[in-house]
Each structure stands twice: as structure tokens, then as C-alpha cells.
Amino acid sequence: MREFDDHDQLYILDTIGGSPRQLAAELGGTLGFPDWSPDGKSILFTAGRTPEHEGVYVIRTDGSGLRPVLTDSINEYRCPSWAPDGRRFAVGTWSPSGSALLVVDVASGSARHVLAADTVYIDCPQWSPKGDDVLITVGHSAAYPWKSAVTDARADLAILDLHSEHLRFVTSDGDKLNNYGRWSRDARWIVFQSDRHAPPFRDSAATHYRFDSLEIYIVRPDGSGLRRLTTNNYFDAHPSW
């Protein structure tokens, strides 16, 4: 992603060499959260006029076949994540009435609510490589946390078993931010960003700096083996295996 003052751009870069190749250039506004399909032929991503009104789009990696999968005037969709079968994806959605986790059929756009909340904020799902679980971020408040005026940016990681619909927490730190978790390829580890090492934020002005205190951690899905990977004064975020 390349971010500018009033719009974003999506690129593919060959890691061996060559120039970045732009995708979905015809879309203006905001773009984000690209996710490769399991077969490597398509990319899901979000796009919209503003960050609060983003839908989900799919495009082939050669730049063809761009189409919307989920769009409406009320909900914002965040962090689409392919299922291992390549036919469905999980996505978080938010509107003033609450947040939810959806499972969506890529071909038809048919969506099914698998988890909904009006007192907490459900965000950034990732489907497990094994196919049975979805890793999500659960914010401690129902307020939309990504506006500059919001100071209650506290969250923990949780895993939803898609068969039993049982939700269990991986982290439980109360006043800390643990979010944007990502599975390792073998599903044995989760990498995430956190401010759990930072001193307590005692007022709203201090909370403003919460995102500047993020470091990268890994943890087992059962909550064991927690380990900090980065230690610096920079904004370390959005890890990916």
C-alpha cells in the first residue's frame, strides 16, 4: 500500500526484481488490508470514499476482474481474510449499531453473521490455515477505535471455533492494546502488535501516544510462550508471516 493525503494505492512488487505494478488504479479514496488468495491468483482488499465507508473488493493479480463483493452505505468492512478453501472469506464489519464477524461467499457475496457484538468491538479477523478457527481482535469498548478523538483503544486477541462457536481469549491484559494478530503457516504461533510493555496511560493525552508504543510479539494459540520480538522507539505494527 502507498498512502497519500487524500487517497491510497495498491501495488504488487516482485521480490526478485522489477518495478511495482499498480492494481485497481480506477478506485479512488481509501484502499487497504490486501490479502492473497490461497492459490495466489486473486487479492481481496477494502476500498471506499473514506475509512468509515469501505467495502470489500476482489481483483486478479494480473489486474483484471476487479469487482465489489460487499458494499453498502452503512457498514464499514475491515481486514478480509481468505478461507483455506479459497471460496469464502472472513471480514469484520462495523456500523453505529455494533460490530460483527461475517463469513462471505466470494462468488455470490452472500454473507453470514457468525459473531455480533454491541458492547465490544470486533476487528481484523484472520482465518486459521487449518480452517477451523478465526483469530479476531476484541476491543474493550463498542466505540469505533480508529478515530483520533477516541482514546479507549484497548483490545485483546481471541479465537472463535467455527464449529462450536466457542470464543476463547489468547491475551487478557485489561488496559493494554493487543491487536492485528496473524497466524503462522503451521498455525502453531500468532504474531501481533501490542503496547503491553508501556507504562499505564493515566489520561486521554497520554493515550494519544498508545500507537507510538507498539512492539511485535508472538504467542501460542493457547496463550503460552509469549515472547517480545522488537524493542525500539518506532511504530512497529501490522506483522505478517
pLDDT tens digits, residue range 96-151?
889 999 999 999 999 999 999 989 999 999 999 999 999 999 998 887 766 654 55
Domain boundaries, position 110: 2-228
**What does the pLDDT look like over 15-26, one tens digit per residue?**
878 889 999 999
What total of structural domains would you count in the chain? Answer: 1
240 assigned to some structural domain: no
140 assigned to some structural domain: yes
Q: Report, as an integer, the average pLDDT of 6-13.
A: 90
**What does the pLDDT look like over 54-90, one tens digit per residue?**
999 999 999 999 999 999 888 899 999 999 999 999 9
198 assigned to some structural domain: yes
Q: Domain of 109: which CATH number?
A: 2.120.10.30
151 assigned to some structural domain: yes
CA distances from 212 to 88, 174, 198, 236 (A): 34, 19, 10, 8
In DSSP notation, 123-157 reads EEEEE-TTSSEEEEEEESSSS-TTSTT-----EEE
214 assigned to some structural domain: yes
Predicted local distance difference test score (pLDDT) of residue 74 = 86
**Greater pLDDT, 143 or 187:** 187
Predicted local distance difference test score (pLDDT) of residue 6 = 76
**Greater pLDDT, 100 or 206:** 100
| pTM for the structure as a whole | 0.90
53 assigned to some structural domain: yes
Q: Residue 152 burial (CB < 10 Å; 0-12/13-18/19+)?
A: middle
237 assigned to some structural domain: no
Closest CA to 181 of 146, 136, 226: 136
φ, ψ for residue 67 (rounded to 5)?
-155, 150
Residue with cell 472472513: 90
234 assigned to some structural domain: no
